[in-house]
Amino acid sequence: MRTLIFALTLLLVTTTNIQSQTEYKIVNVKSNEQKQYLSSEFGIVIGTPATFNLNYAKHFDDFLVKISGLYLGNYQGGQLDLGYKFAHSRRTYHAVTIGGGLARFPRETEIYRVPLSDRKWNYGSISYLMNTKGFLMSVGLSAGEGDFPNPQLIFQIGYSSQFWK
C-alpha cells in the first residue's frame, strides 16, 4: 500500500512539474483569413454492402449524408447513411450513423450444375464512422430480412479523400 501511495504521489509531482514547464503559445488569427470546412469526400472502401464500394459523403456542419455501393456482376449493393459528427478536428472526424441498404451475393455452390439464386440482405443499420486524413473506417450492426440471421456485423475500411471549402 505504501508503494502505491508513493508511486501516485511521485506521478502527481512529476506531471505537475512537467505541466509548469510547458510553454503555452497564443496564436492570433488575422481577420481576413477564412476558416476551412470539410464539404465532401470521395473514395473506395472494402466491406458492406458490395465487397468493393465507391463511397461519397456530403458534409453539413455537424451532419453528413453518405452513400456507398457498387454493381460488380454477382456482387452488388447500396447503402445510404445519415450521420452526426460528435467529434471533429482539422483532418479527423468521428460520427455515428443510421442508415439502410441492400446487398446481393452469389451462393457458394451449385446443385446439379444449376446455379442457386443469389443471397439477399435488406437491412437497417447503426454504425460508428471515423475518417482521419482520408483513412476511413466504419463498423456497426444491421438488422433486416433476407438470407442472413439478425443481427449482422457491417464494416467498411478504405480511403476516402477529403475536400475542403
Instruction: Go through the domains of the chain in sequence order and give each one's CATH number.
Output: 35-164 (2.40.160.20)
pLDDT at 161: 96
Query: Counting Cβ atoms within 10 Å, is residue 83 exposed (0-12), middle (13-18) or buried (19+)?
Result: buried
Cell (9 digits) for 79? 447503402
From 12-16, 126-130, 158-162, the region with the lowest mean pLDDT: 12-16
- Give me the pLDDT at residue 11, please: 54
d(CA 26, CA 16) in angstroms, rounded, equals 21
Q: Does residue 1 have a pLDDT over 80?
A: no
Going by C-beta distance under 8 Å and a sequence separation of 6 or more, which residues neighbour residue 56? 40, 41, 42, 66, 67, 68
pTM of the model: 0.73
- Enumerate the H helices of the chain as residue ranges: 2-21
> Other C-beta atoms within 10 Å of 165: how many?
9
What's the average model confidence in pLDDT over 51-67? 96
pLDDT class for 73, splitting at 50, 70, 90? confident
What's the confidence (pLDDT) of residue 46? 96
Residue pair 83/55 in contact (Cβ under 8 Å)? The answer is no
Which of the pair, 7 or 111, is modelled with greater confidence?
A: 111
Res 26: pLDDT: 47
Residue 17: is its pLDDT beyond 50?
no
Residues near 61 by Cβ (< 8 Å), separated by ≥ 6?
Answer: 37
pLDDT above 70 covers a percentage of the chain that reads 73
Amino acid at the residue 113: R
What band does 105 get if pLDDT is binned at 50, 70 and 90? Answer: confident
Under 8 Å CB-to-CB from 53, ≥6 apart: which residues?
Answer: 44, 45, 46, 47, 68, 69, 70, 77, 79, 156, 158
Mean pLDDT, all residues of the chain: 83
Is the confidence at residue 19, as pLDDT, over 50?
A: no
Cis peptide bond upstream of 149, omega within 30: no
